[in-house]
Amino acid sequence: MPVDPQSPLISIRDVSKFFDDFQALKDVDLEVKPGEKVVVCGPSGSGKSTLIRCINQLEKHEKGSIIVDGIELTSSKASLNAIRSKVGMVFQQFNLFPHLTVMDNLTLGPIRSKGLSKQQADDMAMKYLERVRIPEQANKYPRQLSGGQQQRVAIARSLCMEPEIMLFDEPTSALDPEMINEVLEVMTELAESGMTMICVTHEMGFARKVADKMVFMDHGEIVEMSEPGKFFTEPDSQRCQDFLQQILHH
Amino acid sequence: MKLFLLMMTALLLGGCSGDWGWYVVNPATKSGMNNLSFLLSGLYYTILLSVTAIIISVVVGLLVALPGLSKNPFLRGINRVYVEIVRAVPILVMILWVYYGLPQVADISITVFWAGVIALALSDSAFEAEIFRAGIQSIDKGQYEASHSISLSYTDTMRFVILPQAIKRILPALGNQLVYMLKMSSLVSVIGMQELTRKANELVVTEYRPLEIYTILVLEYLVLILIVSAGVRWLERRMNADEK
Ligand SMILES: Nc1ncnc2c1ncn2[C@@H]1O[C@H](COP(=O)(O)OP(=O)(O)OP(=O)(O)O)[C@@H](O)[C@H]1O
Ligand SMILES: [Mg+2]
């Protein structure tokens, strides 16, 4: 289905999410256009992870609507599965499959859920391993790789599903400092290739370079949403200013 | 292993002096050889019974464990009820009930062998279910989330991601269950299964040499179980070899 470039690929309206009595998201509104890069930041516990996890249905929202690529996330199971394969996700803890080689990590999804042949899946896996610059690690197990390499494998694993949207949840937070850049470089290249991305990250250098839209969350709400130029120089809210102060002078 | 060899020689030497009458199983004499092979002939059914029962109980255990992991309280309830009831029945009682009771209830005829297999498998399946449940629960939540994010179905997630990791972790526990099963199979002798214990009992009745014959029986189980334990350890090492 061709998407009108002006219509949003993701449209989040008035979304609330509760964990028992605790409200993790409060009437959140967010639109993401095709190819747009959104960077989400905010203090711990502000609901950043919950927000992006709602987009790929790892969490269910209780109120409001989330529409991805024209399909509302409450409709039939079949259409939900269709959406699921269009949204890739990269986790803070990589979550690679430890008992499978890098190659098998990458080909499992394409073979089992997209019905590709082993050969097609292998070709695709090699293509994306080259993209993330570790084709030579194809036959190793995740534990034999450094953290940065593992996260790049995780990115390649998502890309092998050929998603239209990539979600990143603090992809560099679990990494040693010297490995952060190799992952950010891969993400920057992905951004330049035109992928629609929502990244939860506190890497503000990356955000400045890549983001079309900055989002600041606090206590389950979107407090500030603006383009990076304005966001970093003159944010409207005091909370956002304080937060930026804190992490930029860290 | 060394300890075992020591024990065995000690026993055999002891037999040469005191009141032991090893002649009943002396392979040098014709009757001794006959007796020995009579005792050993029970090995076939002990192994066949245990292995068949463990395979069935692992499958049933897994099928019972899965609803136990569900978010749905009704499915979890099914798991709890099954485990609690089956665990509460003594194995010997289960064997008697399956052999004498089940044919009447279900209006079927059942051989001694299959009664034994069903009783042992049922009894053991409750424990297998708990082992599987604990093993599957020990797998990190992130593995499910990653599977979800690459669109794997529930079945594929279990088959390719969760179970291979869980089974590796519970292999020692599964090995223990097999050892347990080999030992419990001796109880099936009460309904006439011609396995190791039954053979020993029958020989005792004709030869009046319980000490020697039951000593041999002990050794038979000991050797069998040591071999199984070694096999399980070997398998564990092999499965972990790719981790190095
Ligand atoms: N499964 C859950 N059950 C109960 N509460 C939860 C659950 N997941 C998240 N929460 C709560 O919801 C709030 C938002 O969590 P979330 O993980 O979205 O925050 P975050 O902004 O990603 O924080 P961090 O920077 O620490 O990752 C937190 O207060 C958290 O304790
Ligand atoms: Mg988070």
Angstrom distances, CA of residue A139 to CA of A102, A117, A136: 6, 19, 8
pLDDT at B14: 59
Considering only the beta carbons, identify the residue of A56, A112, A154 that sits closest to B152: A112
| Residue of the CA atom closest to atom 22 of ligand 1 | A49
* CA B165 to chain centroid: 23
The pLDDT-based confidence of A91 (bands split at 50, 70, 90) is very high
In this predicted complex, what is the ipTM?
Answer: 0.93
**Looking at residue B26, what is its pLDDT?**
83
Question: Which pLDDT score is estimated for A4?
Answer: 55
Looking at beta carbons, which residues of chain B come within 8 Å of A56?
Answer: 148-149
Cβ distance A113 to B160 less than 8 Å, yes or no, reads no
3-state secondary structure B36-71: HHHHHCHHHHHHHHHHHHHHHHHHHHHHHHHHHCCC
Between CA B148 and CA A157 the distance in angstroms is 12
Number of residues written out for chain B? 244
**Alpha carbon distance, N-terminus to C-terminus of chain A:** 45
Other Cβ atoms closer than 10 A to B244? 7
Question: What average pLDDT does chain A have?
Answer: 93
Say if A150 is an interface residue toward chain B (CB within 8 Å). Answer: no
Top mutation candidate among A46, A53, A60 for ligand 1, by most atoms within 8 Å of CB: A46
Dump pLDDT digits (tens) for B143-154: 999 999 999 999
pLDDT band at A160; cut points 50, 70, 90 = very high
All residues at 6 or more sequence positions from A80 whose CB lies less than 8 Å from its CB, including other chains: A57, A71, A73
Region of A46 on the Ramachandran plot (φ > 0 left; ψ -120 to 50 alpha; else beta): alpha
What is the tens place of the pLDDT at every residue in B85-138? Answer: 999 999 999 999 999 999 999 888 899 999 999 999 999 999 999 999 999 999
Task: Look at residue A2 in the predicted model and tell me its pLDDT.
Answer: 54
Contacts of B26 (CB under 8 A, 6+ apart): B32, B33
C-alpha A83, offset from chain centre: 15
Structure tokens at A29: 């509104």
Residue (of A187, A188, A116, A181) closest to A156 by Cα position: A187
* Structural fold of domain B2-243: MetI-like fold (1.10.3720)
Which residue do the tokens 């080689």 mark?
A101
- Is the CB of residue A44 below 6 angstroms from any atom belonging to ligand 1? yes
* Percent of chain B scoring above 70 in pLDDT: 91
Amino acid residing at B137? Q
Minimum mean pLDDT range among A71-80, A156-165, A214-223, A229-238: A71-80
> Would you say B165 and B139 are in contact if contact means Cβ atoms under 8 Å apart?
yes
Q: How many CA atoms lie within 13 A of B208 on its CB side?
A: 0
Using CA atoms, how far apart are residues A22 and A46, in angstroms rounded to an integer? 12
User: Rounded distance, CA B65 to CA B136, Å?
Assistant: 9
Locate the domains of chain B by residue range.
2-243
Domains of chain A in sequence order? 1-86+165-174+195-250 (3.40.50.300)
Q: How confident is the model at residue B10 (pLDDT cuts 50, 70, 90)?
A: low
pLDDT at residue A250 greater than cutoff 70: no
Q: Which ligand is in closest contact with the Cα of A42?
A: 1
